[in-house]
Structure 1
Amino acid sequence: MRILISNDDGISAPGIVALAKVAQELGDVYVVAPDRQRSASSHGMSLHHTLYVDTVDFPVSGVEAFSVTGTPVDCVKWGIYHYSQQSVSFDVMLSGINAGYNLATDVLYSGTVAAAGEASLQGIPAIALSLGGASQFDFDSAAKSFRNIANELLRISLPADTFLSVNFPAEMPAGNVWRATQLGARSFQDEFIPVTDDAGRIGYRYGGEALTEVEASDTDTACVRAGDISVSPLRYRFTNTEFLDSLKLKISSVLK
């Protein structure tokens, strides 16, 4: 099995190292990740910037690794293209392990989720992995938990446009449970904190806190609050099909 790994925390992040270690037990691992922190880059691409790629001395023996001066999506696209020139194709793509949850509407902003989504768009089964926490993240435990169920997850036949988003609770007690979930409802109380640079110019740093609504027990947010591991099937399909027929009627009536 050939496994492509990327993330949005950067190639030096401990989460990607922990993931690569356990992925080696599953097959041949190839790492292509951003050269620095790229969180919340969503599905962005560097269309107007030259990408520079460097070989990296990755701290997992036997793993070929490249850093890219771009977004997670750039990394996945470049990785698939680069290896295709060597007649190497991938059986699965793993993204993470991210430092922080990617729950509910987080998936719209997450570079971790976008990397897996891009692989899925290119026909490669993909899984994004994220770990809850504030300042301390037990990546090794999350990676071990993933390894325990990886063979079963990878045997799941996903629809062509579908990939998985896994969220590990911040604290994972022994015997934790994996549950299939839908996206929950989580918004943020936005805050922009003023900061002054060395030149005296005032700027703003985004802050705020998550607001979780009361919701069903089968959501990703409720799942991790209960201390279980959430697995949500995602896909890029934005058309509101339930409203489409109604919109057609409204437009046709206007044009008469």
Structure 2
Amino acid sequence: MRILVSNDDGISAQGILALVRALRDLGEVVVVAPDRQRSASSHGISIHRRLIPTEVDLGMDNVRAFSLSGTPVDCVKFGIHEFGRSESFDLMVSGINEGRNLATDVLYSGTVAAAGEAALQGVPAMAVSLDGPPFPFEDAASVVRNMVTRLRFRELDADTFLSVNIPAGAVDGPWVVSRIGAEGYRDRFIRHVDEEGQVYYRYAGDVVRNSEDEDADTRVIASGCVSITPLRYRFTNEAAMDTLKTWF
């Protein structure tokens, strides 16, 4: 098995190191991850900046690792292009993210976007996030390893990938198939002034909880279960298409 690994927390993050340690004996592991923290980068790519790869020694056998001066999606594109041409990857795993990616988080998450890019390129993929603190990455990585050996990724539609969220307090909880929840954020921007008198702002959104179905990912996690949500990039609102046609 050939596995491509990436994340959005950077190549030195505890989550990705625990993940690689858990997967390295399943086959050949290639890591291409951002050279720094790239959270909330969504599906952004670098068009006007140079991408610089640097080989990194993670001190693990059967693992090749590179940091890249780009976004998580840049890393996946580069990894598949450079290391998946002669022999394709069987799986791409993104994470383990330090923090959950539930409900509308999936729109902003670089962790989710990395897995989504792999799926767009025909590689089965999963994004993994740990809902903490605390962050027991090694325990969560064991769960991921179990999923990799048990889940039949090839039976999913080619453009479908999985978003997995693991509750820190119940990493061994039941696995539950869930849908995206309705939870969102109320935007807040906090004003600051630096030592030079420059005014700047920091984002500090407040969670807005909405009424949700029993199988919403937010409710599944709250119940102490591992949430597994199948995602795909298909944004067309079919019902709205029919309505729109009546306008003409």
Q: Distance in 2 between matches of 1:235 and 1:42?
A: 14
Match of 2:217 in 1: 220
Match of 1:18 in 2: 18
Q: CA deviation at 1:55?
A: 0.6
In the alignment, does 2:79 pair up with 1:79?
yes
> Counterpart in 1 of 2:111?
112
Per-residue displacement from partner, 1:196-236 (whole Å, max 9, x unpaired)?
A: 23322011111133222121111100000001000000000
Task: Tell me how far apart the structure 2 counterparts of residues 208 and 170 of structure 1 sit (CA, whole Å).
Answer: 23
Give the aligned residue type for 2:104.
T
Correspondence for 1:138: 136
CA distance in 2, matches of 1:187, 1:57: 39
Q: Which residue of 2 aligns with 1:66?
A: 66
Selected match of 1:151 from 149, 152, 167: 149
Q: % of aligned pairs identical?
A: 55
Tell me how far apart the structure 2 counterparts of residues 168 and 127 of structure 1 sit (CA, whole Å): 13
> Partners of 1:62 and 1:2 in 2: how far apart?
11
Q: CA deviation at 1:4?
A: 0.1
Residue 97 of structure 2 corresponds to which residue in structure 1? 98
Confirm or deny: 8 A CA contact 1:7 1:112 kept in the other structure.
yes
Q: Tell me the SS of whatever aligns to 2:119.
A: helix
**TM-aligned CA distance change 1:241 to 1:131, over 3 Å:** same
| Aligned partner of residue 188 in structure 2, secondary structure | strand
Q: Which residue of 1 aligns with 2:41?
A: 41
Q: Which amino acid aligns with 2:198?
A: R
- Structure 2 distance, partners of 1:247, 1:26, is 50
Amino acid at match of 1:132: D
1:75-129: per-residue Cα shift (whole Å, max 9, x none)?
Answer: 00011111145x1310100000000111011100000000000000000000000
* Equivalent in the alignment of 1:171: 169
Question: What residue is the counterpart of 2:6 in the other structure?
Answer: 6
Secondary structure, counterpart of 1:40 in structure 2: coil
Stretches of structure 1 that go unaligned for 5 or more consecutive residues are: none
8 Å contact kept, 1:17–1:60: no
Moved more, 159-168 or 210-219: 210-219
Q: Partners in 2 of 1:148 and 1:236 — Cα distance?
A: 26
**TM-score computed with the length of structure 2 as normaliser:** 0.96
Partner amino acid, structure 1, of 2:116: G
Match of residue 207 from structure 2:
210
Q: Aligned equivalents of 1:95 and 1:222: distance in 2?
A: 23
Relative to structure 2, which stretch is displaced further, 120-129 or 50-59? 50-59
Between 218-227 and 147-156, the greater mean CA deviation after superposition: 147-156
Mapped to 2, the partners of 1:195 and 1:183 lie a distance apart of 35
Q: Which residue of 1 aligns with 2:240?
A: 243
* Secondary structure of residue in 2 paired with 1:17: helix
The change in CA–CA distance for 1:24 and 1:206 in structure 2 (over 3 A counts) is: same
Distance 1:156 1:77, change over 3 A: closer
State the alpha-carbon separation in 1 of the partners of residues 122 and 146 from structure 2: 25
Instruction: Please give the root-mean-square deviation of Cα atoms over the aligned residues, in Å.
Output: 1.4
Supply the AA of the counterpart residue of 1:129: V
CA contact (8 A) 1:165 1:234 kept: yes
Task: Measure how far apart 1:183 and its partner are.
Answer: 0.4
* 8 Å CA contact retained: 2:96, 2:130: yes
Shift of 1:59: 4.1
Shift of 1:172: 1.4
Please give the residue correspondences for 1:224-235 in structure 2 after superposition, counting only pairs within 5 Å. Answer: 224-235=221-232
Between stretches 102-111 and 155-164, larger displacement belongs to 155-164
Deviation sequence 1:135-181 (CA, Å, 0-9, x none)? x31111111122223212145511011000000013116x5100000
